[in-house]
Amino acid sequence: MLLALGLIVIALAFEYINGFHDTANSIATVVSTKVLTPRQAVMMAACFNLFGALVGVSVATTIGRGLVDTAFISQHTILCALLAAILWNLLTWWLGLPSSSSHALIGGLCGATLASAGGRWSVIHWAVTNPASGKLEGLWPKVVVPMFVSPFCGLLGAFLLMLLLYLTLSKVRPRVINVIFGKLQLTSAAWMGFSHGTNDAQKTMGIIALVLFTATKDGSFAQLPAWLGFLRTPQFEIVLWVKLSCALTMAAGTAAGGWRIIKTLGHKMVRLLPIHGFAAETTAAAIIQVASHYGIPLSTTHVISTSIMGVGATHRFSAVKWGIVGRMVWAWVLTLPVTMLVAYWLERALMLLK
């Protein structure tokens, strides 16, 4: 029982780190364009993340039972997955790189489950057809393909939207454009925060639901006092208290340490004006909403980062500081294999100690 409760605490710690690592992405542009102060942006992100987190559970379900064989998941497996993701998130946060917490968590879960199954790769659901819906699910269609497609969509979508805005507003004075889009960016930033909640906040929900389900199944919660009965879940389910705790914890994390990532996205990569922020946020929010609808645990980091690159490239390609972009891409590429490897060896070490 203590391990299960500890895992819930660690999962919330991951969500807290995710807050200052990933949620900063959703407010980076609105802060860097000075439409909102960091404090105002954090409050707005917290509210709309909460609203978004309460809408749907498809992404949480994908994380909790759609990527690996749950028969080989124990509480120790979840512990190793979380530790690997947290270590990678802390390293990339310290370096100021907006890597993907989503992919860190997924890589950790796959690596730990692989070790738990004795190295049998078949425990990872690469591409399987859901008999109920007839849709293709698994690591390949839900994670790997979107990992490459979504950044491209962000880059191209923001580039085209920005071109359209330039053509439409070519005769409007810059000062008027700044005023108009300073107000419109409030809407796009709110939508970005809401979209982030529908996708990113659900990932830890899936992990906590998996902890509750596993602990109930193996009897860890058999001796729980009556007032803690809400922890028992005889089936995989995303209950309301899990949604609320994850959303609120993420908001607290954003308030605590999001500025490092905001600085990289909003200041170092390209100089942004309100019209740029509006185009980047609108593009990213639309892509994330589509992904959430289909239960795809998308990297919001990848999408907003490439959307910012797209709007910067419309001015001139040299406006984007490609050296910083290159460092970010390396972090993106390495996230899945590194966290998978770390979680694998953590799980193997725990198995040897048993």
> Domain residues of the chain, as ranges?
2-353
- Any idea which of 71-80, 111-120, 127-136, 336-345 has the lowest mean pLDDT? 127-136
Place of tokens 């057809």: 129
The answer, yes or no, to whether residue 175 has pLDDT greater than 60, is yes
Share of the chain above pLDDT 70, in %: 88
DSSP 109-132: HHHHHHHHTTS-GGGB-SSEE-TT
**Spatial separation of the C-alpha atoms in residues 127 and 190, rounded to whole Å:** 34
Q: What is the pLDDT averaged over residues 33-55?
A: 79
- Any idea which of 92-106, 144-158, 212-226 has the lowest mean pLDDT? 92-106
* Cβ atoms of 69 and 59 closer than 8 Å: no
Residues whose CB is less than 8 angstroms from the CB of residue 327 and which lie 6 or more positions away in sequence, other chains included: 97
The pLDDT confidence band at residue 343, using thresholds 50, 70 and 90, is: very high
**Spatial separation of the C-alpha atoms in residues 109 and 112, rounded to whole Å:** 5
- Any idea which of 58-72, 141-155, 215-229 has the lowest mean pLDDT? 215-229
Amino acid, single-letter form, for residue 295: G
Residues 244-270 pLDDT 10s? 898 888 877 766 755 555 555 544 545
* Cβ atoms of 274 and 182 closer than 8 Å: yes
Share of the chain above pLDDT 90, in %: 29
Q: Where are the alpha helices (DSSP H) in the chain?
A: 2-18, 24-32, 38-53, 58-65, 75-94, 101-116, 139, 145-168, 174-199, 201-217, 240-257, 259-263, 274-293, 300-315, 322-353
Residue-averaged pLDDT of the chain: 83
Amino acid, single-letter form, for residue 184: L
Neighbours of 23 (CB within 10 A): 29
More confident residue, 327 or 31: 31
**Spatial separation of the C-alpha atoms in residues 100 and 138, rounded to whole Å:** 19
Entry pTM: 0.85
**Spatial separation of the C-alpha atoms in residues 227 and 221, rounded to whole Å:** 12
Residues 196-210 pLDDT 10s? 888 887 888 989 999
**Spatial separation of the C-alpha atoms in residues 177 and 154, rounded to whole Å:** 23
Q: What angle do CA 42, 48, 56 make, to 5 degrees?
A: 140
- pLDDT on residue 266: 47
Place of tokens 């109920």: 132
- pLDDT on residue 269: 47
Helix axis angle, 101-116 relative to 75-94, nearest 10°? Answer: 140
* Cβ atoms of 314 and 215 closer than 8 Å: no
The pLDDT confidence band at residue 349, using thresholds 50, 70 and 90, is: very high
More confident residue, 66 or 160: 160
